[in-house]
């Protein structure tokens, strides 16, 4: 079969999206409640005693970081769980024998995971308005960057879901690697506040570039060059696409 199977991609996309709606509390309400607690503790309780960071009120300063914190974890977990369950139940063979290719599979699974994350991001930004007065100086670039990050980490989560052969492995990288890197990546502070050599060490954390990029779209300030942030995110997305293409061509962990 040649060409893009739009109907097949749409069927996968809708099925995955509906799965999230059936678990709305876990998929949407729980992350929103968690983020609200961050706003209350760091924004209201601690933020009132903090000085402005780069001319931005501290409570408003942490909004992009908290948004990215949720975006990374939810994009990764949604995509990884989405592809892991068909492997776990054995229904992956139905997908592999269906007239859909790598492109249709990615649009379906990754598109649904990214869509869930974008819906969640919109809800979090709306929720933030009840706690802090923030602004978005570059709304078009902010939306584009959020979509780029959601897509990149949904692809990463897809790879993680194929790599994991049990539920424990499914949570190792998000909890033991991704989450600590996010907290140490300038979510609650500017890396310019760090003394040397820790500031230089922080620049080796890739999450720093994501947080800085998103924060620049909000307030026009960044710890690193904005185009470096965009470039690294695009490069990460491209690497994930290439990796997934190789996985489907070789059948690694898909046929065993």
Give the residue extent of every domain in the chain.
6-250
Examine the pLDDT at 2 and tell me if it is beyond 70: no
Distance, CA of 42 to CA of 47 (rounded, Å): 6
Question: How is residue 112 written in tokens?
Answer: 């649904």
Q: What is the mean pLDDT of residues 22-37?
A: 78
Question: Which structure tokens are listed for 102?
Answer: 């790598």
- In the predicted model, what is the mean pLDDT of residues 97-112? 87
Taking 60 as the threshold, does the pLDDT of residue 254 lie above it? Answer: yes
Provide, for the chain, the percentages of residues in helix, strand and coil under a 3-state DSSP scheme, each rounded to the nearest 5: 75, 0, 25
Taking every pair of Cα atoms in the chain, the longest distance, rounded to a whole number of angstroms, is 63
Kindly give, in sequence order, each residue whose CB lies less than 8 Å from that of residue 35, ignoring residues fewer than 6 positions away: 66, 67, 69, 70, 124, 127, 128
Between 230 and 33, the higher pLDDT residue:
230
Strand, helix or coil for residue 140: helix
* Higher per-residue pLDDT: 20 or 157: 157
Residue of higher predicted confidence among 94 and 81: 81
pLDDT of residue 1: 45
Report yes or no on whether pTM surpasses 0.85.
yes
How far apart, in whole angstroms, are the C-alpha atoms of residue 86 and residue 91? 5
Q: Which residue, 200, 228, 203, is CA-closest to 216?
A: 228
């Amino acid at each position: 079969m040649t060409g893009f199977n739009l109907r097949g991609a749409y069927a996968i996309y809708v099925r995955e999206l509906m799965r999230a709606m059936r678990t709305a509390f876990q998929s949407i309400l729980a992350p929103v409640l968690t983020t609200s607690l961050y706003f209350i503790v760091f924004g209201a309780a601690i933020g009132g005693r903090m000085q402005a960071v780069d001319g931005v009120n501290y409570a408003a300063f942490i909004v992009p970081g908290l948004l990215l914190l949720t975006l990374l974890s939810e994009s990764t977990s949604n995509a990884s769980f989405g592809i892991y369950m068909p492997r776990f139940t054995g229904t992956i063979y139905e997908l592999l024998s269906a007239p859909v290719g790598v492109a249709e599979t990615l649009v379906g699974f990754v598109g649904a995971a990214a869509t869930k994350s974008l819906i969640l991001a919109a809800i979090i930004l709306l929720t933030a308005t009840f706690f802090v007065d923030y602004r978005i100086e570059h709304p078009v670039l902010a939306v584009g960057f959020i979509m780029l990050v959601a897509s990149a980490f949904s692809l990463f989560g897809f790879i993680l879901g194929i790599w994991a052969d049990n539920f424990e492995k499914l949570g190792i990288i998000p909890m033991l690697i991704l989450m600590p890197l996010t907290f140490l990546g300038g979510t609650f502070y500017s890396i310019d506040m760090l003394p040397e050599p820790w500031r230089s060490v922080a620049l080796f954390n890739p999450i720093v570039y994501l947080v800085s990029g998103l924060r620049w779209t909000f307030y026009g300030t960044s710890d690193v060059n904005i185009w470096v942030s965009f470039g690294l995110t695009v490069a990460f997305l491209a690497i994930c696409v290439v990796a997934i293409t190789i996985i489907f061509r070789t059948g690694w962990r898909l046929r065993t």
